[in-house]
Structure 1
């Protein structure tokens, strides 16, 4: 299918499709006339990219997942590990954000401002 059809079916922009191709998340075949032809499996790949992005995966992580799925279906225990690792990262980010929230809250309640030269800036873990 041509890029216009892929854009229609995925509701993505041409720029996004081209960016995914540049990042080697999807691939096309260049026809003799110079037009790019995207295989039917590109629709499933784009759906996987969207789902993974919505779950918080980076494009780099998604590229690794796509490479695994290109070889074979990912075993359930490996999918579990991937999800658990992402949960661990999210839990760590939540902890950091909660710490930042507590510090900002203290500053709004009268603690000395850490943005002045004479106030030390607390370290985050």
Structure 2
């Protein structure tokens, strides 16, 4: 399938498809005439990429997931582990953001300015 057909079927731009190929998320086969041909499985891979991005996975994380799919169907327990790891990361990020929100709220209510040299800021990491 040519890139134009793939773009139309997936509603992704050609640039996005080329970027995913550059990131080695998908592969193409170069024809004798120089055109790139994408196998049918690329549609499924692009659907997985879109779904994973909507769930908050980074392209590097998606690349690891796609590597698992090349070995066949990912076992359910492994999918659960991937989702749990992502949930744990989200929980950590939420906690960090809540700490930042609390500090900013205190600063807007009259506590010393954090942008001054005499005002220590705790490390949030």
Query: By the TM > 0.5 criterion, same fold?
Result: yes
- Counterpart of 2:49? 49
How many angstroms apart in 1 are the aligned matches of 2:89 and 2:107? 27
Gaps of 5+ in 2: none
How many residues are aligned here? 125
- Counterpart of 1:34? 34
Say what the alpha-carbon RMSD is for the aligned residues.
Answer: 0.8
Tell whether 2:105 aligns with 1:105: yes
| CA shift for structure 1 position 4 | 0.6
What are the equivalent positions in structure 2 for 1:62-77 lying under 5 Å apart? 62-77=62-77
- TM-score by length of structure 1 reads 0.97
- TM-score by length of structure 2 reads 0.97
Gaps of 5+ in 1: none
Where does structure 1 differ by over 6 angstroms across 4 or more consecutive aligned residues?
none
Q: Which string of whole-angstrom CA distances, capped at 9 and with x for unpartnered residues, describes residues 26-52 of structure 1?
A: 010000000000111111100000000
User: After alignment, is 86-95 or 112-121 more displaced?
Assistant: 112-121
